[in-house]
Amino acid sequence: MMLEAVRLHKWYNSPQGQTVADLIGDNMLHWLNLNHPPMQLLGLGYPQPYLDRLVGRLPAGHCPHPLGASPAEMGVLPWPSPQANRIAQVRPDALPFADTQFNQVLMTHFLEGCASPQAALRETWRVLTPGGRLLIMVPNRGGLWARRDSTPFGWGHPFSPGQLAELLTDSLFSPRQSRFALFMPPLGKGRSPQAASAWEKAGQRWFAPLGGAILCEAEKVVYALTPLGKQSARNLLQRPLSQGFAPRFNNDSAKRTP
Q: Whose CA is closest to 128, among 219, 232, 61?
A: 219
Kindly list the averaged pLDDT for each block of 10 residues, start to end, along the chain of length 258: 93 95 91 74 97 87 92 95 94 97 97 96 97 96 94 96 97 95 85 87 94 97 66 45 39 46
Residue 35: the pLDDT is: 62
Give yes or no for a cis peptide into 38 (omega within 30° of 0). Answer: yes
Domain ranges of the chain: 5-220
Taking Cα atoms as reference points, which of 182, 191, 121, 197 lies closest to residue 152?
182
Concatenated DSSP letters of 80-116: S-GGG--EEEEBTTB-SS-TT-EEEEEEES-GGG-SS
Q: Residue 38 and residue 128: Cα distance in Å, rounded?
A: 15
Chain Cα centroid distance, residue 93: 14
Backbone angles phi, psi at 140, to 5 degrees: -85, 125
Pick the CATH number of 5-220 from 3.40.50.150, 3.30.450.20, 3.40.47.10, 1.20.120.80: 3.40.50.150
C-alpha–C-alpha distance, residues 127 and 22, integer Å: 28
What pLDDT is attached to residue 225? 61
- pLDDT reported for residue 251: 45
